[in-house]
Structure 1
């Protein structure tokens, strides 16, 4: 495994740990990142 692939795998694991499984989905060779924003209610 290349250093680049290892760094990507580590980053993906950290994102999934912080935001939950399914927060990142791979489609083909493209990477789609989904996230939720919270809004403050005034």
Structure 2
């Protein structure tokens, strides 16, 4: 069996659906984190 050291063939680590779900969940996490920071800063200004 001969194995090339420089193989141009890629093995998929995640399916397309898993990749889209991961991107959407990371985006939702980022939006929630930004919303939390804005809420904390605006609450801090009221006091």
More relative contact order, 1 or 2 (CA 8 Å, 6+ apart): 1
Which structure is larger by alpha-carbon Rg, 1 or 2? Answer: 2
More strand as a share of residues: 1
